[in-house]
Structure 1
């Protein structure tokens, strides 16, 4: 490891049964030895709490910890992530094992930090449908709405005769005959995300009460994973870290590209630089103005993709540089040596199964010559003048009612992101309540759910001289996922100065052409088209300083505007 230039090692994130083979019986000698060996070589250690994989004895004695899927089936042990974050017994056992670990290693000089759990929500486990969750969800709803009348109004539950008279009448939004109420489901998604925030905080509080102040605490995010609100999970952490697997993320299913789009020809064994870059950008934005880490960097074949290709020599070096140039302070490779047994036997390591150097190790040795320049790049501030706003509520609302199979929130964001990257323009991706003052331009691909506070924030940003780029379906919903009764784009109409009179969802073989006097601003509109018209203000006059930059030249929207600009204060 030292020969390859490695200085930091993560261990123990799936080792609960090795630490505690039977309830209350701890065996630390192997972990003591591992940390001592690494420390003797001058290596620092990140310890993972092992809660992502409860041991068989715990599943046997406390079967209620096992999650229930959307089909109502109790999930079985035998792999990983088989727990419900709302289980009281699992929270108790979590606190016990984390307390034991932190008490033993919380002030060890070789331990520089802690990773809580591993990849929350992976394998479709972000949402559990057990009875414990049903009870907790009702309490969550009561705290949010306080009265049944307010909940029924927010959800529009009178539809299909589903008005509730008591909190106990509310079930989880699964196993319904037809589709469940999207307001009900959105609140359940919010609740499930909050459950993991609470579960993480349980471990975080325990760790911080026992460990040294110099030890950092983090968890491992999965870049473009969208089942949990990473903004909320990131807030209490010292820094954020990510898993980066470029070839797996570049495979066409699922894809951020449209089906007919041309992907980079080398993506199969080098990855797609735009997709990899978006992952870095997303992670950096979850903890703005702080460096991030790559806690799992692909260093060869993966085992969970569709094709699981090999990688070219030099690729691991390229990926490392890409991460550092994007703001990464540390890059940790997964894994050291390829596994000889169980589920990840075909997942490459820096070393082959026989412990001989693999392509990743060779790249690491070559990177030793890069260290000085890498340190210089890593210490330089990452400054972007453009910010994307990512809103999980809008993302989930679009997932629940896409209205078109190809209308995908992250795909829509990626179209804008890739265009800016190709122009050499760096960008950040932030939450909707972020401070926008450092930026000159804000891109809002889809703000489906809009609040008065958010609308005012965008308006103030524009008045101060900023540029707001607003995409389709913005302003169409309220925070409870009800359609607005205001002329579209709802609360954002004063900002953009237009009214959306109609929208069309376009089949794959249909497009509406856009024309413009601006060179290059022509071409087909696919997937979703909106007819824009100058809006009429409350004083019954048209908004001043409105320009039409593109209009439809074919289809039912012919002569309607497709792209407009509205001056607002010193901005637009």
Structure 2
């Protein structure tokens, strides 16, 4: 791209009165150069079957064109009109446990339903016909935060059986064995008599069905992309706004979509990211989103939705909107777009506030957007297309996530609390982030993670044998592996290994184990890690063979007490952490491992100072110094350069003060 895109979603259809010219004037004042439209208003464009009215779309495109503002068109397929359900009630999704959905909520359709697909294709084509030829339309967003929505209707069940037949080469006995169907008399006698998957208690079958549902998303997005591609020019992109697990904000790996596979349908990666604010703003979610989305197409990406004012608990402090915008760019984003421009006056999201509140007047958040937009006008050429080269990768797996949902890790003796895959992923990522160890988040299915100097692998509970073999080769060839508990337990069908744990990696890690527990009040005893650490509810009893012991369980009442080990294997080294520890302890453990075992050059600074680097289009190193605290922080400039925001020259070794919730951006001389 030639410039940073800065903008918002804009809904002329939702306005209580005509204010398009006024909105555009306010956008231009704020330096906004792009809007995203059309993705949620199918029923407005097709009030009756076959009667189309795209006047609001054309009106906005043409007004934005006159103002010099670019437009991204969203296909409006994620919220279906009520008349479509009257035509065919089976358009509504049928889910496990709740049956057929009732009309009213968005994203409640069956993405495999033929009636839905027929009418969705028609609205897409009609929209493309009236919008694609405008030169200020720069790209298309297919659907919106797409998932399978738990679809498990009859046609999906039939499709799943066909998928299994292909997976097992039509050998039903091989499938019975792989899934352990002898247990509780679950054996399937024929493909024709395959039972409804919604009733299964078999984790292997349940996890495989969830994998199949993720594949449905891949197919659906490719189907939409193929339609859009028929109309799109070569200079127009196709994207999707991938989101993440939701726990009141964007939390971690998306359970319902494999981003790495689904992104094959698009030409540029896009994402939606919502995060804590005020005193809870850490930048962690922004960074996780960036480090993951950046790897989907191995280049820069678009933030298609993020918060402006958001809900009341997202209302930013002074300067936080500015800090957030630059945090996205520091991770390699080429666009920052808010959901949304104006606050909606009725319906479900009335209090998910945009840049403008319900009175449309200027407010402090909007005024900070004015600061960002006008700085980007001046600095865009130096900040766009930031290229990052990281030596550390965090390996993630949708299949491990699903398996640990079926077999959660109990962390209290009364089984009242469990540890999820994303809890573990976030814990390890948070430690890396806080230590300013920049990393890429890569898929276990990727073919290039062997190129990293250090590979961090949290709880890879399941994987095919070839993945374990690749990990072994990675270490043997000189790689440095940091692996956590609950790794290499089962194969791709969630069958726990009978050959011992860790499966296929006992020689690499120099250990095995066959017992584990969920204790309370357990700590680590070690001379290697300062102050040991507090075990939080889960531990494995490691039995080293060739591995060196780094930590043990203190005052252990069990026979075995080894907690953390390091092993030399071939040219490389593997560290195994056999327990879940508290946040502070994990950060200290990882810091010590990277410094002493991996000889990694750590940053001088830790959270709340976050340091992110990359090279711009001029080949110059750009360093972002981000302060996620309400106090002024001081750092020492590592090299001479230009403070881009303030235009001042900085000398190597110069002491720099970063105000609360602020950022300094240095470009090397």
TM-score normalised by L of structure 2? 0.76
TM superposition shift of 1:373: 4.0
Counterpart check, 1:407 vs 2:419: yes
Deviation at 1:456, TM superposition (A): 2.1
Q: Cα deviations across residues 235-288 of structure 1 (Å, max 9, x unaligned)?
A: 2311221112213xx7xxxxxxxxxxxxxx801xxx34223322332222333x
Q: 3-state DSSP class of the match of 1:393?
A: helix
- Unaligned regions of 5+ residues in structure 2, if any? 1-26, 245-251, 411-416, 574-669
Secondary structure at the aligned position of 1:396 is classed as: helix
Q: What is the CA–CA distance in structure 2 between the aligned matches of 1:521 and 1:283, rounded to whole Å? A: 37
- Number of matched pairs: 530
Q: Residues of 1 paired with 2:223 and 2:374: CA distance?
A: 42
- Looking at structure 1, the residues matched to 460 and 390 of structure 2 have their Cα atoms a distance apart, in angstroms, of 21
2:70–2:137 Cα contact (<8 Å) kept: yes
The SS at the match of 1:196 is helix
Moved more, 410-419 or 552-561: 552-561
Unaligned runs of 5+ in 1: 251-264, 536-542
User: How far 1:120 moved relative to its partner?
Assistant: 1.4
Q: Which residue of 2 aligns with 1:144?
A: 167
My pick for the range that moved more, 452-461 or 393-402, is 452-461
- 1:244-283 alignment to 2 at 5 Å? 244-247=273-276, 266-267=279-280, 271-283=281-293
Offset of 1:229 from its aligned partner? Answer: 1.4
- Rounded Cα–Cα distance in structure 2 between residues aligned with 1:378 and 1:338: 29
* CA deviation after TM superposition for structure 1 residue 521, in Å: 6.3
Where does residue 416 of structure 1 map in the other structure? Answer: 428
Aligned to 2:438: 426
Local SS of the residue matching 2:129: helix
Query: TM-score, with normalisation over the residues of structure 1?
Result: 0.89
Supply the distance in 1 between the matched residues of 2:57 and 2:532 (Cα, whole angstroms). Answer: 62
Equivalent position to 1:243, from 264, 272, 287: 272
Residue correspondence of structure 1 range 193-342 to structure 2 within 5 A:
193-223=214-244, 224=252, 225-247=254-276, 266-267=279-280, 271-287=281-297, 289-302=298-311, 308-342=313-347
> Aligned runs of 1:83-122 on 2, under 5 Å?
83-121=109-147
2:418 counterpart SS class: coil
Q: Helix, strand or coil: the match of 2:266?
A: coil
Q: Name which structure has the greater RCO, CA cutoff 8 Å, separation 6+.
A: 2
Mapped contact 1:451–1:491 kept (Cα < 8 A): no
Counterpart CA distance in 2 for 1:505 and 1:325 is 40
Give the Cα–Cα distance (whole angstroms) in 1 for the partners of residues 373 and 531 of structure 2.
Answer: 46
Paired with 2:115 and 2:150, the residues of 1 have a C-alpha distance of 18
Q: CA shift at 1:357, angstroms?
A: 1.6
Once the two structures are overlaid, the 10-residue window that deviates more, 3-12 or 221-230, is: 221-230
Distance 1:172 1:386, change over 3 A: farther
Question: Which of residues 384, 394, 397 in structure 1 aligns to 2:403?
Answer: 397
Structure 2: distance between partners of 1:99 and 1:54? 16
- Alignment-derived partner of residue 553 in structure 1: 554
1:523-545 CA distance string (max 9 Å, x none): 2222211111124xxxxxxx4xx
- Aligned partners of 1:524, 1:166: CA distance in 2, in Å? 51
Answer whether contact 2:33 2:69 (CA < 8 A) is retained: yes
8 Å Cα contact 2:37-2:57 kept in structure 1: no
What whole-Å deviation, never above 9, does each CA across 1:420-447 have from its counterpart, x for those lacking one? Answer: 1121111111001320244210000111
Q: How far apart, in 2, do the equivalents of 1:210 and 1:275 lie?
A: 35
- Per mean C-alpha deviation after superposition, the further-off stretch among 30-39 and 141-150 is 141-150
